[in-house]
């Protein structure tokens, strides 16, 4: 049972180590999908660069907040 | 075609090296502490289980690839992004000193201490040694399995190329480990994790957007230039992030990896 729980924790952790990044990634993809569906033929291809910009912004914001949190406290394992 | 196969095989190989090194550390700890029979059998059992997982989840991708191509691109793109962003984020935090680097030697010593505390088996069959090794290979290999399946979603040949990359990585790691009989501490794990994270994020953006019917610019009859441009953008963002973290936390914070 402990092994199964450990395996599930590992599988869950593979995709969702940081909730903000995982949810943000899905939200960015959903936003790009919405843009692709609603923007029309001429602007559909801009959904690709939009996805890139959203994801890189998410990464920078997440790292910034993580860095601030870590700098503000010393957590030892 | 060659590009498709390389895109499947190379990240699978690099990601696998990182994960097999981590699994190998535990297997070596078991072998050096309790003998080699049970960890070898545990490793083989773990590999067989992983092969079944890849077969079960990978086979439908090949069979139904043509019928549901767009949906697969979206699902694969999202999975690659979830993996890639996670690896990218963690490796950037390690580069910036916010999270401790993965210390294989420390992990090895910890595993040896735990195994010694378990006591030795009185019979020929060592249950603890077997399950320690099986669990290490299976849990570290699960990530490889998911990446192989995601990269192989381009079709049968891509799946074979991804599997070949993972198997080649296993053979290289095992060969090195068998020669050295100690943890492979010289492997630049964090740099390799960054490379894999950047590649998976790039492919996730490229294929995910492809699933949304986005046409990436084609140069010289190939969209390879678009892939390179995305990869360059991801790398540049990562560099900016490391510099930014250097300002936010100039001394680093050295928190345990598991806490962030």
ipTM, two decimals: 0.80
pLDDT tens by residue, A22-59: 889 999 999 999 998 888 888 888 889 999 999 999 99
Per-residue pLDDT at A74: 53
Where do we find the tokens 């900016």?
B240
Distance to chain A for B179, nearest Cα, Å: 30
Asked if the structure places residue A41 within a domain, the reply is: yes
Asked if the structure places residue A2 within a domain, the reply is: no
Q: Hey, how many other C-beta atoms are within 10 angstroms of the C-beta on A22?
A: 16
Asked if the structure places residue A36 within a domain, the reply is: yes
Probe site for chain B from A28, A55, A76 (most B CB atoms < 10 A):
A55
The beta-carbon neighbor of A22 closest among B82, B93, B244 is: B82
Q: Please give the mean pLDDT across all residues of chain A.
A: 80
How many angstroms separate the CA atoms of B206 and B108, rounded?
A: 39
How many angstroms separate the CA atoms of B2 and B8, rounded?
A: 10
A14 to chain B, any CB pair closer than 8 A? The answer is: yes
Asked if the structure places residue A43 within a domain, the reply is: yes
Per-residue pLDDT at A77: 40
The beta-carbon neighbor of B209 closest among A11, A51, A67 is: A51
The DSSP line for B77-98 is: HHHHHHHHHHHHHHHHHHHTTS
How long, in residues, is chain B?
A: 260
Asked if the structure places residue A77 within a domain, the reply is: no
In the structure, what pLDDT confidence band is assigned to residue B241 with cuts at 50, 70 and 90? very high
How many angstroms separate the CA atoms of A71 and B187, rounded?
A: 29
Which chain B residues are closer than 8 Å to A64 by Cβ?
244-245, 248
- What is the distance between the terminal CA atoms of chain B, rounded to a whole angstrom? 40
Q: Hey, how many other C-beta atoms are within 10 angstroms of the C-beta on A6?
A: 13
Asked if the structure places residue A13 within a domain, the reply is: no
Q: Hey, how many other C-beta atoms are within 10 angstroms of the C-beta on B176?
A: 16
Instruction: Please judge whether B209 and A16 are an interchain contact, meaning their C-beta atoms are less than 8 angstroms apart.
Output: no
Number of domain units in chain A: 1
How many angstroms separate the CA atoms of A3 and B204, rounded?
A: 31
Distance to chain A for B67, nearest Cα, Å: 21
The range of the structural domain enclosing residue A42 comes to 20-68
């Amino acid at each position: 049972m402990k092994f199964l729980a450990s395996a599930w924790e590992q599988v869950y952790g593979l995709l969702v180590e940081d909730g903000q990044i995982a949810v943000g990634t899905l939200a960015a993809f959903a936003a790009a999908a919405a843009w692709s569906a609603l923007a029309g033929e001429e602007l559909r291809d801009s959904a690709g660069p939009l996805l890139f910009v959203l994801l890189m912004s998410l990464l920078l914001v997440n790292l910034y907040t993580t860095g601030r949190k870590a700098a503000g406290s010393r957590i030892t394992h | 075609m060659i590009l498709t196969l390389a895109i499947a095989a190379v990240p699978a190989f690099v990601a696998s090296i990182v994960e097999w090194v981590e699994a190998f550390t535990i297997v070596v700890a078991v072998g050096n502490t309790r003998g080699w029979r049970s960890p070898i059998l545990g490793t083989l059992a773990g590999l067989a289980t992983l092969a079944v997982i890849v077969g079960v989840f990978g086979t439908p991708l090949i069979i139904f690839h043509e019928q549901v191509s767009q949906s697969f691109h979206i699902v694969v793109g999202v999975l690659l992004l979830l993996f890639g962003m996670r690896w990218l984020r963690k490796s950037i935090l390690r580069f910036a000193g916010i999270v401790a680097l993965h210390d294989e030697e420390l992990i090895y010593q910890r595993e040896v201490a735990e195994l010694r505390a378990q006591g030795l088996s009185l019979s020929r069959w060592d249950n603890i040694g077997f399950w320690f090794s099986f669990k290490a290979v299976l849990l570290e290999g699960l990530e490889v399995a998911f990446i192989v399946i995601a990269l192989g979603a381009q079709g049968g040949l891509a799946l074979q190329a991804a599997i070949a990359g993972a198997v080649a990585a296993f053979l290289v790691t095992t060969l090195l480990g068998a020669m050295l009989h100690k943890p492979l501490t010289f492997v630049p794990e964090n740099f390799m994790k960054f490379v894999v994270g950047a590649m998976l994020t790039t492919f996730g953006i490229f294929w995910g957007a492809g699933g949304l019917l986005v046409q990436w610019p084609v140069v010289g009859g190939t969209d390879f230039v678009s892939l390179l441009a995305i990869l360059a953008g991801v790398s540049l963002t990562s560099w900016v992030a490391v510099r930014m973290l250097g300002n936010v936390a100039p001394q680093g914070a050295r928190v345990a990896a598991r806490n962030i």
